Amino acid sequence: MIERCGSYCLSDVDYVHAFFPHLARVEIGRVQLGDDGLLVHASAVGAVANCPKCQVASLRVHSRYVRRLSDTAVAARPSRLMVTVRKFFCDNPSCGRKVFCEALEFADRHAWRTRLANDGLASVALALGGRAGARLSRVLGIGCSPATLLRVIRRIPEPAVTTPRVLGVDDFALRRGYVYATVLARPCHPDRPRGVAVPARPPRRHLPADQDMEGVA
């Protein structure tokens, strides 16, 4: 089916790629619309694949299998992918890996969800947390449990940590009169910290002792 849209002429595959731009590198097969959402059949078509252990490219196909992935919702309907991917032989004699699965650029290895869908869930989870995020995800057509959202948050990689030059230091009570703790906060603008500079406290065990650090009250 070809339909004219403005000055563009879109085929069925173009429509699918318009809604799923992250699938541009795979071949789209059938697209089924059922009561439980959209089901897209696709196949990986790259000529070669790199071994994840030695990074040597391989052309020899060992076998094929189908990966099932959840994807972003379309018009509040859940969408799923069934992607036929291949296993390749690794022909590098010095590599311990004999057979490997080709990687998909839109999904991590062993993931059940595309990276785009995972990023969307992570945004919902970070904004609303588990229970409220799960309620919103059902409205959006993603539909996941509070525990899933918490797992998504836990899998977000930690940002790279650099040794701060300026720290805000404050004490607070976990249980007044019994248990106290100290919070170390990094100012948003380390070059222009608010507050009054005070002499640095003695280095704590979890701070690098050899760093010349300035305290801010």
Residues in touch with Zn ion (CB under 5 A):
51, 53-54, 90, 92, 95, 97
DSSP assignment string, 116-144? HHHHHHHHHHHHH-HHHHHHHHHHHT---
Q: Minimal distance in Å, beta carbon 117 to Zn ion?
A: 30
Q: What backbone torsions phi and psi does residue 120 show, to the nearest 5 degrees? A: -65, -45
Nearer Cβ to Zn ion (41/97)? 97
Q: Minimal distance in Å, beta carbon 57 to Zn ion?
A: 10
Nearer Cβ to Zn ion (53/138)? 53
Nearer Cβ to Zn ion (17/97)? 97
Tell how many helices (H) and how many strands (E) occur in the chain. Answer: 4, 13
Q: Minimal distance in Å, beta carbon 138 to Zn ion?
A: 43
Nearer Cβ to Zn ion (52/190)? 52
Q: Minimal distance in Å, beta carbon 50 to Zn ion?
A: 8
Q: What is the DSSP letter of 205?
A: T
Q: How far apart are CA 100 and CA 87, in angstroms?
A: 5
Residue 148, classed as helix, strand or coil, is: helix
